[in-house]
Each structure stands twice: as C-alpha cells, then as structure tokens.
Amino acid sequence: MTATLGATPTIVLVGHGMVGQRFLEALAERGLTATHRVVVLCEEPRPAYDRVALTSYFSGKTPEDLSMTDMEFIATHGIELYVGDPAETIDREAKKVTARSGQVFEYDALVLATGSYPFVPPVPNKDAEGCFVYRTIEDLLAIEAYAKSKATVGAVVGGGLLGLEAAGALKGLGLTSHIVEFAPRLMPVQVDEGGGAALLRTIEEMGLSVHTGVGTQEIVVGSDGAVTGMKLSDGSELATDMVVFSAGVRPRDQLARDCGLTVGERGGIAVDEQCRTVSDPHVFAIGECALAADGRVYGLVAPGYEQAATAAATIAADEADQLTFTGADLSTKLKLLGVDVASFGDAHGATEDCLDVVYSDSRAGLYKKLVIGRDGTLLGGILVGDADAYGTLRALTGSVPPISPESLVLPAGAGSGAQLGPSALPDEAIICSCHNVSKGTIRGAVTDHRCTTVPEVKKCTKAGTGCGSCVKVLGQLVTAELEASGVEVDKGLCGCFGQTREELYEIVLALRINTYQDLLDRYGREEARGGGGCEVCKPAVASIIASLAPTIGASGYVLDGEQAALQDSNDHFLANLQKNGSYSVVPRIPGGEITPEGLIVIGEIARDFGLYTKITGGQRIDMFGARVEQLPLIWTRLVDAGFESGHAYGKALRTVKSCVGQTWCRYGVQDSVRMAIDLELRYRGLRSPHKLKSAVSGCARECAEAQSKDFGVIATSNGWNLYVGGNGGATPRHADLLAQDLTDAELVRLIDRFLMFYIRTADRLERTSTWLERIPGGLDHVRDVVVEDSLGICEELESLMADHVAHYADEWATTINDPEKLARFVSFVNAPDTPDPVVGFVPERDQIKPDLPLLTIGHRPLEGSAQR
C-alpha cells in the first residue's frame, strides 16, 4: 500500500519522542499543519512522553502521567500518528519511506528524529537474563517485573545522569544498589573533582555503594543462564542478580546510513545550520540523532527543541523568521536521588585567564563553584547539594553580576549578606533555555495575557515545560509580577491543598480533623480529593496531626494506621538510615546526664551487637551499624534499662545540651543541668516543621553554645535569658534575645508559647531561624505574641503544650510491645529471616566502619550523554 503524495505537500516525521513532539508543535505554530499533510512514524508502543522525568515512574507516576502527547492536539491538526510502526527504509530518489507495517509514504520533507540508543559495553554475557538497559518506559516495566520476582541486589553500569537515576530506582524497588563507573568520579561531564566528591558522599550516605575508577570485564551467569555477578577491571567480583547498563548513548543513525546520508565519524547524521542533512535538502535531522554544524551531537533536550524549531522554520521558508542552529547552551539542573546537581556555562573553567570562587561544606554535602573572568564576568559554575540559585546564575552568565561573586555562593548569614533574586535580572535574561523564553516574555504573559498561575504561564510561553529546571525561578517571577499588579497569589502548600501549612494547622485544630484523608477529602483541591496526596503534603499534615494529637483525638504514635503511610523514610523504622544500609540507635540522655549503670547498659549492647559508638556534640551516645531486624532487640534492652527514643530520626526535639552549671563549675550561677533535663523531658517527642535543638548554659561563658540553638537558655545572677531562632547548621545564625532575667516558671511558660507559635505558623521544613526572619515583623512580632500576648492566644498555646506533655508516650516502648508493628522490621518482606547481605563492616580504630570503596579523584570525559 502506498500513500500517494497528491496535491497536498507532505511532511513525514520519523520518531516521536520529546524532540519530535516539539517539532509537531512548531509546525502547528507556523500554520504548516493546515497546509501540509503530516505523518508521524513512532517506533515505541506509545506516543511521546517525558523521558527527562522517566524515573518518576518509580515514585508513583504512571505512563499516562508522563505522556507529552495531547491527542486532541493531534486530532485538531490532522496529524497522522502511527504508533508501534517505525520507518524501515528510505528511498531518497523516489522520496518514499516504508514503514514496518508495509505502508509507504511519499514526502516533500522528511524529518529524522530517531534519537539515540543505549551503549552497552561489549562484555561477555551482556545479554544474559537479568541484564537491562534504562531508556524507555518498556525498559522500566521490565526492570520492575524482574526486581519483584527474581532480584535482591542490582548493579548499574554507568555513573552519569541516567545511571544515578537507575540506581535510585533499583533502591526504591527494595534492591541493594551498586553503581559502577569507569571514570574516577561520578558525573564527570557535569561536575569537577570537588563537586564529584560532594556528590559521592551524599549518595553513599543514602545507602548506595559506589565503585569508581573500575570497568566491567564480564557478566557472571549461573547454571540457569541468569546473572549472578560482575567481574570488575580491578580483579574484584561484585555479587548481583541484576545489571542495568546506563553507560551513555549513541545516535540512532542506521536508517540514515542505509539510505546513503552522510554521518559523522563517531556517528550522527550530518546537518547544516538549518538542520538539513548535508546530503539531501529534502531530509532533516533533529535531536540526538543529528550531528550539528558545529560538529557536536547534543544529548540535552533544550538543543533538540531548538533544532525542532529551526527545522520547522526552514520547511516553512519563513524569511522573516529564519532560524539557525549553530550550537547550544549545555547548562543543566537535575535532582538525582534527591540531590540537586547543576552546571552552567564554562563550568570547568576552560576559558583562559579565569578565576574560581568556591564554597564547600563536606559535612552538609554542599559544593558551589563560580568561574569568573578577570573583568568580573560570570562565565559558569557548578552547584551540588543546593541549586536554588541556578536559574538566576545561569541567566547572569556572560555578564558582570550586580553583587560580588562571593555573595552568590555563600549561604544566608555568611559574607556580606547580599542577596540576588530573579527580580534583579534584566528582561532579556533567558529563564527557560529549553524554549528560549526570556524574563520579559514571562512578565508579558502575566501583564498582557492575564496569566495568574505558573501552569497558565507555562501554557502561554512554554517556559518550564522542558527539563523543568527553571520552574522555581518561573514561580518567583510570576508571584512577583502578580503582587506588583495587586493580584492575590496562590500560596497553597502543594498541588493537593490551596491552603498554606499555617492555614491547614488552624483547620485541623479548629475542626478536630484527625486523619489526613479526611482533611484531603474536605479541604483538598477538587482535583485532588479522593486521591492519595503527594510527598509534600503527606509528611507535613502528619506532623500537624502528631503535634496536635491529644487535642484533636488522634493517635500520637507515628506508626499507627494511616499515620505510618504518611511519614518520612527514617520514621518508618524509628531510626536513621546510614550510608551502608544499616541504622543508628540513639537513646535519649536528657541534659547529657547519665549514670554509670546507664553507661554500662549502652556499652554492653554496643558490644553484644557489634555497634560503633560515638559521643555526639549533643551530649548523647550514638550507636551505629544496627541491621533493621536488630532494632527491636536492641531497643527492648534499652527500654528495659529505662532509656527512651532520642528522636534522632524525626522532625522533633533532638537534645537540650548543657554545661555542668553551678553544681560543679566555679563560674556557674544557675543549675543548668537540672534545667536542661527538665526542658528535654518536657518537650521530648514534640513534632514540629523542622528538627529542634536547644541548650542551657550555666553562665555567660556559654560553654553549652546556647546561642546557636533553636531555643537557648543562658543563666544570669537574676535568673535565665531566653534566646530564639539560632542555627548552627548549614546556614549559621546567632539567636536573638527574646526575654531576660526570667524565673524558672516564666522561662518554661515562654518556651511553651514560642514553640507552639512556631509550630502553628511555620512553613513545612522551615527551621526557627528561617521562620524568624520570614515572619512579618520578625522578632518584635514574636515578642509581642508570646511575651505580651498581643493576639490573645497565649492561653491556648500553653494549653496545647500541656496536652502534649500529659500524653507523651515513648515510641519505641510502644513499638516493642506490638507484634504487628514489629513485623515491619525486616530487610526483605518476602524473606523476613534473611539479613541484608550487603550491610558489611571492616575494623577501624578498635571499632567498625562501613565496608565501602574509597574515592579516587581524576577526570575522563564520557562519550555521549543521556537526554537531559
């Protein structure tokens, strides 16, 4: 069967991925779908979907959620879409394409958007049962099915963008996960040595094992032909029953080769600046299959979109708007395994005569580097662990920033304190590199086209619809423009709720709503009602319910019923997950005071279970290295000895640190140990938007460092001074004096009020230091509310705290007495008696440490890249 050309000119698109879909949209924008017949031959069994967000399938997204194809758009523009029917041959002389189904289509213009294919190293047994690639939805479905039925350990070959996502997916499926990378660091194309080291530390802390500087020599198979391990180039062997290859991609150019089109020496269909193939003016190539005029194959989605727009403009022969593709910005921002990673401009400092501005905090997993020209021009940079400034910095690349480079990378509260937000950018600054959308265009969508939400601006401008890295800046610009116009802005907690966290707190308290589902069904956005919520609102609402549990009639135990499904990961096992898959055990030691008998119990437990012990800065004893199935056994002994949960895993009070005070110290003027113990026992288990830390110093010498805590107390000869809003973490902040020379009763009353007012009004995951700077009126307002009772709510705040104190119950004591709850403490649900085989240790300084490989720093560029 031949589809004849006829009077209507025909455009045939081979391939329907993200770039192919963008090409169709570009045709529609130029009116070509009304004047041309458009035929699309799609190889996959489904139309275009968001390959950038592929891994989100494992966090609950469905293939339908990932779809980028609006079938109404396809129908409205008369596009003929053939799914699962790829092109097999091209006859350039006759200008015909033959599909697998046998259909033959004549064309006036042929556009090849065949993308790329995963590179699989030529190692023995690479096609064995249990070997997969990570490229399509079908690949993910196959990986998921095999992981659930036959695998417990998975290894990913490749430590690039998709490799890290694949490893995270395997871990999410319950597999012990390894990453094998031939280069001496992860993501060598995007980050430098410092960024790679920060990324490695953070990923290993999540329990993934990373093997850098080694290659795969052979896939080991068992007698049944299935994978049992991998032999590595350093002579070691890795036990695994699943291997996922994600070692880069190669252009899919075989169709072009077969019909005689010119391809590059290392692959890619050669095209000119109009995206025409150099061999045939009637054939175009766009996306990862194209070798651009500058000699590069671009693996990012943004250049592919530019090529799609260029090809459409060329076919339209629009001389007034003739586009060319001469190269592209390779900036990228991703969240890999929950870690922000971004690079932009000349990230590696290849420009001659440039300088680096570097901020590194290995403890917090932060690494920020800016490359600056001698004249102050921002040339590029790398951000690991915190990429909030990416949108602003990328838009400033090529210009001299209006503030010092140091101010752009230092955390809030450090350096000059100068801040630079998106509002400071000029209108010509490019915000969305995928679709080349400027700040001025975004502002125009709000002011001229009356867009009032980010989704509306996305639809109007296409900004934020590509890789998504600009969405945060986009939201800030939309909010700023709306507020400047006097329009009320939607500040809802998430897509499920239109209310802020503070408003949801008031609803829960006033109406005594004690389940998440009830709150969602009654007050969620209409489209979210009856659903399961999202990862933003579930833990936030769980925290609200837990903090108000006695008052609203809810269970204060976080693993009861619905509450268990809402918690953050560490709360699921009432312990902190460590880098090798083991857990830490942290009993509460109020004020740091402990008896010799208590020390002996902890010592005996650590000895009997082979745990690593360390005295912390919060005056507790941490025990590391417990397997998940050992946690109930350990806590049974601790509870029997009178210990309680230290809540090291929860958004709750951690510690109240103290010095020895007047009892022992020559300079002490108050009993700081007694006060610290009283405060810790009063506020233990109090769930809040962020973790809480406190300290009590017995004199002005401040040995307990109280002024770096969320609430800190310093003794005076006349009583106690109360400081609030301190933070000694990644963004240090000196606490502010709230009240002075307080009696014991006055001190406790003000702390009660302060904490409950914070819990009531803070945003999710907002620490007291940030809250105090954000809340209107700052410290003065807080003082008016909690000291002067300006809002008349102090009696209620005190009552809420009294309810918490009266109904406190230790979570571990509750857990070990409930056989149903104990059933969750296993490594493998389908094999509850099997310990995790990868949790291993080696000796160090008469104790143990995780058995993990050391990092070797170096550089080797990887060939190819995943579509990003």
* Shared-domain flag, residues 458 and 560: no
Using the 3D structure, point to which of 567, 587, 621 is the last residue of a domain: 567
Per-residue DSSP letter, 7: S
* Shared-domain flag, residues 804 and 818: no
* Shared-domain flag, residues 347 and 309: no
Question: Residue 551 and residue 805: Cα distance in Å, rounded?
Answer: 11
605 burial level (CB within 10 Å; 0-12, 13-18, 19+): buried
Question: Residue 454 and residue 466: Cα distance in Å, rounded?
Answer: 14
Residue 775 lies in a domain: yes
DSSP letters for 808-851: ---HHHHHHT-HHHHTT--S-TTSTTPPPTT--EEEETTEEEE-
Tell me which long-range contacts 610-614 makes (C-beta under 8 A, separation of at least 24).
Answer: 610/841, 610/848, 611/585, 611/848, 612/847, 612/848, 612/849, 613/847
Residue 550 lies in a domain: yes
Beta-bridged to residue 111, according to DSSP, are: 13, 284
Predicted confidence at residue 65, as pLDDT, reads 82
Residue 309 lies in a domain: yes
Residue 126 lies in a domain: no
* Shared-domain flag, residues 601 and 739: no
Q: How many other C-beta atoms lie within 10 A of the C-beta of residue 224?
A: 8
406 burial level (CB within 10 Å; 0-12, 13-18, 19+): middle
CATH number for position 470: 1.10.10.1100
Averaged over 120-127, what is the pLDDT? 93
Predicted confidence at residue 819, as pLDDT, reads 86
CATH number for position 784: 3.30.413.10
Question: Residue 320 and residue 561: Cα distance in Å, rounded?
Answer: 64
pLDDT band with cut points at 50, 70 and 90 for residue 51: confident
**Nearest alpha carbon to residue 453 among 488, 429, 422:** 488
| Cβ(342)–Cβ(382) below 8 Å | yes
Residue 849 lies in a domain: no
Residues near 512 by Cβ (< 8 Å), separated by ≥ 6?
A: 551, 552, 553
**Nearest alpha carbon to residue 17 among 270, 326, 305, 387:** 305
Averaged over 795-821, what is the pLDDT? 92
Tell me which long-range contacts 137-142 makes (C-beta under 8 A, separation of at least 24).
Answer: 137/44, 137/46, 137/49, 137/54, 137/57, 137/63, 137/66, 138/44, 138/45, 140/54, 140/57, 140/58, 140/169
| Tally of domains within the chain | 7
Cα–Cα distances in Å, from 550 out to 189, 559, 681?
A: 53, 16, 17
Judged against a pLDDT cut of 60, whether residue 412 lies above it is answered with: no
Question: Residue 179 and residue 163: Cα distance in Å, rounded?
Answer: 8
- Domain range spanning residue 800? 651-808
Cα–Cα distances in Å, from 15 out to 23, 110, 114, 285?
A: 11, 11, 5, 11
pLDDT band with cut points at 50, 70 and 90 for residue 336: low
Report the alpha-carbon angle 843-847-850, nearest 5.
Answer: 55
Residue 665 annotated as lining a ligand binding site: yes
pLDDT band with cut points at 50, 70 and 90 for residue 261: very high
* Shared-domain flag, residues 48 and 174: no
* Mean of all residue pLDDT scores within the chain: 86
Is pTM beyond 0.85 here?
Answer: no
* Shared-domain flag, residues 663 and 751: yes
Question: Residue 480 and residue 669: Cα distance in Å, rounded?
Answer: 51
Residue 233 lies in a domain: yes
* Shared-domain flag, residues 785 and 660: yes
Cα–Cα distances in Å, from 416 out to 247, 403, 406, 536, 840?
A: 43, 10, 8, 33, 46
H or E stretch including 639? helix 631-640
Condensed to tens digits (0 to 9), the pLDDT of residues 567-588 reads 666 777 888 888 777 889 999 9
* Shared-domain flag, residues 585 and 631: yes
**Nearest alpha carbon to residue 209 among 153, 125, 128:** 153
- Cite the DSSP H helix spans in 667-743: 672-683
H or E stretch including 230? strand 227-232
Mean pLDDT check: name the lowest of 172-186, 376-390, 742-756.
376-390
Mean pLDDT check: name the lowest of 117-131, 135-149, 446-460.
446-460
Condensed to tens digits (0 to 9), the pLDDT of residues 477-513 reads 888 888 787 777 777 888 889 899 999 999 999 999 9
CATH number for position 592: 3.90.480.10
pLDDT band with cut points at 50, 70 and 90 for residue 822: confident
pLDDT band with cut points at 50, 70 and 90 for residue 4: very low
Residue 659 annotated as lining a ligand binding site: yes
Condensed to tens digits (0 to 9), the pLDDT of residues 740-783 reads 999 999 999 999 999 999 999 999 889 999 899 888 888 989 99
Residue 61 lies in a domain: yes
CATH number for position 183: 3.50.50.60
Residues near 368 by Cβ (< 8 Å), separated by ≥ 6?
A: 358, 359, 360, 381, 382, 383, 384, 386, 409
Using the 3D structure, point to which of 765, 788, 808 is the last residue of a domain: 808
Using the 3D structure, point to which of 321, 347, 362 is the last residue of a domain: 321
| Cβ(656)–Cβ(680) below 8 Å | yes
**Nearest alpha carbon to residue 209 among 176, 187, 242, 182:** 176
**Which tokens hold the place of 740?**
């002075």
Judged against a pLDDT cut of 50, whether residue 415 lies above it is answered with: no
Cα–Cα distances in Å, from 684 out to 493, 721, 810?
A: 27, 22, 9
* Shared-domain flag, residues 657 and 757: yes
Of 336-350, 516-530, 780-794, where does the model show the most confidence?
A: 780-794
E strands, 348-461, in order: 354-361, 366-373, 378-384, 430-432, 437-438
Residue 867 lies in a domain: no
Question: Residue 302 and residue 18: Cα distance in Å, rounded?
Answer: 10
Predicted confidence at residue 9, as pLDDT, reads 93
* Shared-domain flag, residues 665 and 783: yes
The count of C-alpha atoms lying within 13 angstroms of the C-alpha of 157, restricted to the half-sphere facing its C-beta, is 30
Predicted confidence at residue 23, as pLDDT, reads 96
E strands, 706-826, in order: 711-716, 719-724, 736-742
Residue 699 annotated as lining a ligand binding site: yes
Condensed to tens digits (0 to 9), the pLDDT of residues 271-284 reads 999 999 999 999 99
Secondary structure of 640-678 in HEC code, one letter for each residue: HCCCCECCCCCCEEEEEEECCHHHCCCCCCCCHHHHHHH
* Shared-domain flag, residues 265 and 372: no
* Shared-domain flag, residues 408 and 511: no
